[in-house]
Amino acid sequence: MDTRFWLIQTFNGVSYGALLFLVGSGLSLIFGVMRIVNLAHGSYFLLGGYVALSVIWATGSWLLALPVAAMAVAVLGLVMERVFLRPLGFDPLRQVLLTVGFAFLLQQAALDIWSGNNFDISPPAALTRSVVLGGLYLPLYRVFMIAVALAIGLALWLTMEKTRLGATIRATVDDAQMARGVGIDTSFISMLIFALGAFLAALGGVIGGAFLGIYPGLDFEMLPIVFAVVIIGGMGSLGGAAIGALLVGLADNFGKALFPEVSYFTLYAPMALILAVKPTGLFGRE
Amino acid sequence: MSMAGTRVKVLAVVAALAAIALIVPHTGSFVILLATRALAFSILVMSLDILLGYTGLASLGQAAYLGIGAYTTAILATRYQFGLGYDFWLVIVLGMLGGALLAVLFGMLAIRATGVYFLMITLALGQCVWGLAYRWNSLTGGDNGINLPQRPKFGIDLADEVTFFYVVLSIFTISLLIMYTLVRSPFGRSLVGIRERELRMKILGYNTWLHKYLAFVIAGGFGGLAGVLWAHTAGIVSPENVVLTTSVDALLMAVLGGAGTLVGGVIGAMIVFGLREYLSTLVPWWQYALGAVYVLTIFYLPTGLMGIPERIRRRRALLGNRRDSKELASVAS
Amino acid sequence: MTGLLLRRLGRTLLGGCFALGIVPHPLAAEELRIGFVAPTTGIFAQVGKDMIDGFQMYLDEVKNDFGGAQVKFLVEDEQAKPDTAVTKAKKLILQDKVHMLVGGLLASSGYALAPVSTAEKTLYVVPVSAADDLTQRDLPKYPYLIRTGWSSSQPSHPFGQWACDQGYKKIAAIAADYAFGYEVTGGFQKAFEDCGGKIIQKIWPPIGTKDFGPYIPTFKADADATFTLMVGPMSLQFPKQLRASGYKKPILGGGTSYDEFVLPSMGDEVIGDVSALQYSAALETPKNEAFVKKYRAKYGKVPSYYSETNYTSAQMIDEVIRKNGGKFPGAEEFIKQLAAMKFDTLRGPVAFDDMRNPVQNIYIKKVEKKKMFGYDKEELWNAVIKTYPNVGQFWTYGKDTFLKQPVYSRDFPPCKFCE
């Protein structure tokens, strides 16, 4: 286990964490603002990938696929929120179950539309090379994932901290009733956040698609992992999502590399333990 | 609930059970098979309902207890040739014990959490059990699963589908009875109290943690029982039994039928199994039908199917009130 | 899909009867009910579809007529869950009164259906489930079972020999952490070490792993090549990630690693990778060429081994029924006859050993980018570079010697040379 091993594994863990942050940040925001546990988040991720595939097949452009897929799923998220979730009001259990019901429906629909073959998203050739740094092969695509996560994270943070919109969102997260009291249109904020969450998840799906593949079942496979990120980091906290993603990415990576025997538990055991000690997650508020 | 109302409900359930007992054996082997599966799984759903409908804890990891019961049965049957005769009843006890012990362990980690965190922690623990079932090849056979040699024989041969159906129905009825007595007991009532206003219960001096913990353990025990029966219905136990979607299924069935009603779980199970395994032999779009049933129920029938009579009653009362107050108003003026 | 199939079949049956003007048989045309169990929903739905399409293609070619018997093809969805498979199988047997069960995808489904066939005394033809012990140590429990596909370690044994012949001395193995992975790898390890090679590392990523980042840096640098067994989405990601990490040495794969089910979605990074299986869509025989062209025209994809093995199974069933004048001779007699016959199939000549598993060609295939069968695009194909004929499930070991050793598992063969 020389330094190269540790460096590469850290790099791998960070890049995986970057992808998880993309998907997890949306989920964390959705919970923070609306207290909704969106079990269809994995489906958004997968649908993002599928839509991207269709765009690539139709136009050959991977660059175009990114925004198109993300927007398309954002619209889907919007519709789901307005038509199905809003009328339920604050009822966590029913929200959970409704989103699960949708997850099943979306899975079947995806199967019918795109077939069940295993697909791979091919990024532009420039990104498939590896950069050699000090004898270490760093796949450029992983670097790309880290870059995107940083960019998005920065954009989100700036919006939250420096803009009025961000302030209204933070107010709604902290105390929705008070926010309404001072005239903030919380239902608009909710809608916006849900769409944003779906957008980010789908973006994660397109980017992750080149890394994980696109196939039926990926939605439910991603779900527990993304939830681990958000739970560990704490619901509703963007910074928490970032830390959580980093921790999960590193723990999973190092866990599998050093203790491959317990590969199945490197994700869940720490999650269960952290929750047992601090049920609202590391940075969560309740 | 009025005494008369309760009695009506109880009579309805008894009648339904009797009807099932009499009609099903004459419907053809496939329906008998489905009914047996639904009844065995219902025990798990009912155990979940104790947590969900009465204590207010939604768990996404109940399949773990089904798994313990099922794997215990399978391992005893294949390795030790145990449980295939009169000792079947001992295996039932062991299955329940296994489920309860696992819940004792998991409960210590989970009960501190509530709401969505409880959901997540039970999910994580359930996934750990799945990982174990998958990985511990020497014990569980890994993904190949364990084939049970045969159904138990003790005077009666459970290999006969009809006989097995009756045995499962009886065990189910007894479980229902026990759980019913439980929820109507002071303990059960305090669980409902915790669901409604935990803070108030704490102030009143109840050890809410202990109450929830006990409910969790009891649910685990019945989950184990369901597992024992489940192992024998299919004759094979595999990690598929403890996969996340199994827990989700149980949750959905409980809500579909009506949380907090116990028998709602059976109705939910019958509908889902009917759709999934019967409709699927007839039409290819059954997945959409199932998804639509979930979404529509959650949307329009939050109290589930069992809640329909209550909603009708309330509607009628509301209309009645309005009429009365209108009359009063006209009289007063 | 089931309803549509049934309706379509009904019409085909009727049409076929009239159109063929079959040689008048003294008794009315007998109906042969085949119960097919495959996942048609859920994450394995596409594999199930390939299985059904393969079988259906054969039925269409003979217009559902097996030597005078009208075939009724009843498909039930097992959802890749063993207990659902059992329920559907029982329905097919008890309610639909099928003459035989065919199918099951995963090892667990195979293991779930086998006892049902024994309990109900119904013939069970296994085209896909490759679990070794189904036709080895567990066979005596299943007198009504016969396998027409392959056993997991069957192609691995000659592959191990081939690896020695290439001059490889040390190989690192990485395979999906489940029984299928153990058996394919175990077979390779045994044969490779018996001819002088050494497996110096064994890594088992959990099934469903797509990020091999944690594992790749731990590969031993002194291995001459990597042996891998991946399925489904794992097959897509692993070679890509391995090559991106700068790995230049050869990759040897188990059959499902580069099977045509995943090959079309792979990129040029897999050119040169070698694998072993009893079928390749690039097999250059007139029979196979016709099959591939027809299948692709009809279903829009190159057939995978899932399609081929079901097509071939349908063919085998047909030939046995034909031999019996269009009548089903009962499960035991059917097995006896099937096991005694030799078949000329898409994958080459196939016979059976006395443990009811096929004896067939094993093809060592290499991924090449070229034009084949008259298609005008260059595509990835598994070009056959060597054929090992008459390979049975026990290779050269002899049945009794082989059965004395335990089934291939994580720890067997033991990793004597692991560093």
Q: What is the pLDDT of residues C342-368, one digit of tens each?
A: 999 999 999 999 999 999 999 999 999
- Which are the contacts of C157, defined by CB distance < 8 A and separation ≥ 6? C187, C188, C190, C191, C391, C395, C396
pLDDT at C13 over 70: no
- Residue pair C137/C165 in contact (Cβ under 8 Å)? The answer is no
Q: What is the pLDDT of residues C384-414, one digit of tens each?
A: 999 999 999 999 999 999 999 999 998 889 9
Write phi, then psi, for A285 (nearest 5 degrees): -125, 145
Would you state the pLDDT for residue A285? 59
- Which are the contacts of A95, defined by CB distance < 8 A and separation ≥ 6? A36, A37, A38, A85, A88
- Residue pair B110/B121 in contact (Cβ under 8 Å)? The answer is yes
Would you state the pLDDT for residue C26? 42
Identify the CA nearest to C161 among candidates C368, C360, C398, C396.
C396
- Which are the contacts of B286, defined by CB distance < 8 A and separation ≥ 6? B275, B276, B279, B280
pLDDT band at A137 (very low <50, low <70, confident <90, very high): confident
**Does residue A51 fall inside a structural domain?**
yes
Residues C253 and C336 in one domain: no
pLDDT band at A71 (very low <50, low <70, confident <90, very high): very high
**Does residue C220 fall inside a structural domain?**
yes
Within 10 Å of residue C327's Cβ, how many Cβ atoms? 15
Substitution target in C44, C46, C256, C266 with the highest count of A β-carbons within 10 Å is C46
**Does residue A228 fall inside a structural domain?**
no
Residue among B116, B290, B295 minimizing CB distance to A37: B116
Q: Does A117 touch chain C (CB under 8 A)?
A: yes
Find the domain containing A34 and state its range.
Answer: 19-114+123-216
Using a CB-CB cut-off of 8 Å, the residues of chain C touching B241 are 83
The stretch A53-71 carries a mean pLDDT of 92
Would you state the pLDDT for residue A84? 87
Q: Report the C-alpha gap between C346 and C311 in whole angstroms.
A: 9
- Residue pair C198/C419 in contact (Cβ under 8 Å)? The answer is no
Is B144 in contact with C131 (Cβ distance < 8 A)?
A: yes
Residues C290 and C279 in one domain: no
Number of domains making up chain A: 1
**Does residue C379 fall inside a structural domain?**
yes
**Does residue A132 fall inside a structural domain?**
yes
**Does residue C135 fall inside a structural domain?**
no
Subunits with at least 3 CB pairs below 8 A relative to chain A?
A: B, C
Q: Quote the minimal CA–CA distance from B52 to chain A in Å.
A: 10
- Residue pair A26/A153 in contact (Cβ under 8 Å)? The answer is no
Q: Quote the minimal CA–CA distance from B44 to chain C in Å.
A: 16
**Does residue A4 fall inside a structural domain?**
no
Residues C278 and C400 in one domain: yes
pLDDT at C118 over 60: yes
The stretch A160-171 carries a mean pLDDT of 85
- Residue pair A271/A265 in contact (Cβ under 8 Å)? The answer is no
Q: Does C137 touch chain B (CB under 8 A)?
A: no
Would you state the pLDDT for residue C212? 92
Residues C388 and C249 in one domain: yes
Identify the CA nearest to B228 among candidates B113, B329, B92.
B92
Residues C182 and C255 in one domain: yes
Identify the CA nearest to B225 among candidates B82, B68, B58, B37.
B68
Looking at residue C22, what DSSP letter applies? P
Q: Report the C-alpha gap between B42 and B48 in whole angstroms.
A: 9
Is B135 in contact with C177 (Cβ distance < 8 A)?
A: yes
Q: Quote the minimal CA–CA distance from C213 to chain A in Å.
A: 6
Residues C189 and C277 in one domain: yes
Would you state the pLDDT for residue B258? 85
Identify the CA nearest to C264 among candidates C379, C134, C406.
C379
Residues C119 and C199 in one domain: no
Using a CB-CB cut-off of 8 Å, the residues of chain B touching C2 are 280-284
Q: Does B233 touch chain C (CB under 8 A)?
A: yes
Q: Report the C-alpha gap between C171 and C159 in whole angstroms.
A: 13
Residue written as tokens 């942050």?
A: A21
Find the domain containing C259 and state its range.
Answer: 156-283+361-404
pLDDT band at C259 (very low <50, low <70, confident <90, very high): very high
Residues C161 and C212 in one domain: yes
Helix (H) or strand (E) holding A50: helix A41-59
Number of domains making up chain C: 2
According to DSSP, the β-strands at C100-103 and C123-126 are parallel
As for the ipTM of the complex, it is 0.85
**Does residue A133 fall inside a structural domain?**
yes
Write phi, then psi, for B66 (nearest 5 degrees): -60, -45
According to DSSP, the β-strands at C69-77 and B236-237 are unpaired
Is B245 in contact with A220 (Cβ distance < 8 A)?
A: yes
Alpha carbon separation from A230 to A3, A192, A210, A240 (Å, rounded): 31, 19, 23, 7
Q: Report the C-alpha gap between C409 and C180 in whole angstroms.
A: 9
Residues C248 and C388 in one domain: yes
Write down the pTM of the prediction. 0.88
Substitution target in B143, B164, B237, B276 with the highest count of C β-carbons within 10 Å is B143
pLDDT band at C206 (very low <50, low <70, confident <90, very high): confident
Would you state the pLDDT for residue C396? 92
Is B137 in contact with C90 (Cβ distance < 8 A)?
A: no
What average pLDDT does chain C have? 90
Residue among B109, B252, B255 minimizing CB distance to A272: B109
Q: What is the pLDDT of residues C66-105, one digit of tens each?
A: 999 999 999 999 888 888 899 899 999 988 999 999 999 9
CA torsion, points B111, B115, B118, B123, in degrees to nearest 10?
Answer: 160
Looking at residue B270, what DSSP letter applies? H
pLDDT at C5 over 70: no
- Residue pair C73/B110 in contact (Cβ under 8 Å)? The answer is no
Residues C264 and C336 in one domain: no
Please report, for the domain that includes residue C329, its CATH number.
Answer: 3.40.50.2300
Q: Residue A61: left (phi > 0), alpha (psi -120 to 50), or beta?
A: beta
Would you state the pLDDT for residue B197? 82
Residue A8, SS3 per DSSP? helix
Within 10 Å of residue C409's Cβ, how many Cβ atoms? 14
Among candidate residues C346, C372, C388, the one where a domain is terminated: C346
Would you state the pLDDT for residue B58? 87
Q: Report the C-alpha gap between B129 and B65 in whole angstroms.
A: 9
Residue among B134, B234, B283 minimizing CB distance to C86: B234
pLDDT band at A183 (very low <50, low <70, confident <90, very high): confident
**pLDDT tens series, chain B, 333 aa:** 455 667 777 888 888 888 888 888 887 788 888 889 999 999 999 999 999 888 888 898 999 999 999 999 999 999 888 888 888 999 999 999 999 999 999 998 888 887 777 888 888 889 889 888 888 888 888 888 898 888 888 888 888 888 999 999 999 999 999 999 999 899 988 888 888 888 888 888 888 889 999 999 999 999 999 999 999 998 899 998 888 888 988 988 888 888 888 888 888 998 888 888 778 778 878 888 888 888 888 888 777 777 777 778 888 888 877 766 666 666 655
Residues C50 and C122 in one domain: yes
The stretch A134-140 carries a mean pLDDT of 84
Residues C376 and C255 in one domain: yes
